[in-house]
Amino acid sequence: MIFEPRASAVIYNLLNSYEGDKVFLVPANVCPIVLVTFLKAKKRFELIDISNQTLCMDEEDALRKLGNNPSKYAGVFFVRTFGVLGSFEHFYEEIKKINEDFLIVDDQCLSAPDPELSKDTIADVVLYSTGYAKIVDLSYGGLAQLKPNIRYNKNTLSFDEQSHDRIINEYKNSIANNSMFLYKDCDWLDNTHVGISLEHYLSSIEEAYKTSIETKNIINKIYSENLPQSIQLDSKYQLWRFNIRTSKKDEILDALFKNKLFASSHYASLKGIFSLGKAPNAEDLHANVINLFNDRNYDEERAYRTVEIINKFL
């Protein structure tokens, strides 16, 4: 079990321990900080579109690429869109059939950390985050379960908080302007030593999870019972935030903000931002999905007001 200040530090140490220049397949709707971490580690990635059925990496496209040119690739960085629940073991099995040495990372940063469950997977690495706005929000922490044969070496890095904030603002500006992100290395990554024990960290996760799930269940019930079923994503996508899909996205977000309410719009396709090309399915999902808040910062009264405003546009 690996525990670092941030999930991005886990990714960096993992990538930096990988010897070689082969390419990792990554879904186009990945969190931008993942690709910034790839760039810092000087590892190559190839973005591919998501599936309209699973909203995650297009498995057929990934397997076709791996099968057609196995010597080109190092493995797959799989991301569970919106923390989707369920098994992707069949996909992982097919990857290993092509080349058992392919590295499979199961990024569950938007899922609830479950170290015991992560032991029973074909994936080589299962990654969790307990950072800001995650299901378990401790405002710090990345956790990973690694197979025994996976190399993992922690590197000492200088860290500067202002550099961290600057790199985030830079990629956010690129996404907002639909322009290519130009990476300039700096001391943005916190890879320092964590000043608490793993046992204490896991205990904190367990306690915070109970409170988080209780709040989410209450607020999700308000959304699910008072919004049209037709705009709601399947329940397996609704734990991190409550997600709706609507062509009125921009109008709804504007109205919510004007009424001092909140919602978010994750995750943009990074094709055209971090690499050339387009990812139509990822772009379409981002253009129409709103992530409604359901955490400790959003109470029942706000949830009901949010529902009232959304329904005016439907």
Same domain, 211 and 305: yes
| DSSP assignment letter at 6 | S
Long-range contacts of 134-139 (CB under 8 A, 24+ apart): 134/109, 134/110, 134/240, 135/83, 135/110, 135/111, 135/209, 135/212, 135/213, 135/216, 135/239, 135/240, 136/112, 136/205, 136/208, 136/209, 136/212, 137/208, 137/212, 137/295, 137/296, 138/204, 138/205, 138/208
Same domain, 7 and 138: yes
Same domain, 57 and 122: yes
CA distance 75 to 77: 7
**Cβ-contact 122, 102 below 8 angstroms:** no
Angle between helices 32-41 and 161-177 (to 10 degrees): 120
The answer to whether residue 32 sits within a structural domain is yes
The answer to whether residue 198 sits within a structural domain is no
The answer to whether residue 117 sits within a structural domain is yes
The answer to whether residue 144 sits within a structural domain is yes
Same domain, 216 and 109: no
The answer to whether residue 161 sits within a structural domain is no
pLDDT at residue 230 greater than cutoff 90: yes
The CATH number linked to 28 is 3.40.640.10
Across 30-44, average pLDDT: 98
Q: What is the pTM of this model?
A: 0.97
DSSP element (H, E) containing 234:
none
DSSP letter for each residue of 152-192: ---------HHHHHHHHHHHHHHHHHT--------S----P
Same domain, 31 and 122: yes
What pLDDT does residue 106 have?
A: 97
Token representation of residue 19: 């010897």
> Count of domains in the chain?
2
CA Rg, the chain, in Å? 19
The answer to whether residue 170 sits within a structural domain is no
Across 114-140, average pLDDT: 91
Same domain, 40 and 113: yes
Decide: helix, strand or coil at residue 23: strand
The answer to whether residue 261 sits within a structural domain is yes
Which among 152, 185, 220 is the end of a domain? 152
Same domain, 14 and 144: yes
Residue-wise pLDDT for 47-69, tens only, equals 999 999 999 999 999 999 999 99
Same domain, 143 and 51: yes
Which among 152, 170, 185 is the end of a domain? 152
**Cβ-contact 307, 222 below 8 angstroms:** yes
Percent of the chain with pLDDT over 70: 99
192: Cβ contacts below 8 Å, ≥ 6 apart: 5, 157, 159
pLDDT at residue 117 greater than cutoff 70: no
Residue-wise pLDDT for 280-313, tens only, equals 999 999 999 999 999 999 999 999 999 999 999 9
pLDDT at residue 118 greater than cutoff 80: no
Same domain, 254 and 145: no
Which residue range is the domain that position 136 belongs to? Answer: 2-152
Which among 134, 152, 170 is the end of a domain? 152
Same domain, 142 and 75: yes
Same domain, 6 and 144: yes
The answer to whether residue 233 sits within a structural domain is yes
Same domain, 125 and 22: yes
Across 215-237, average pLDDT: 98
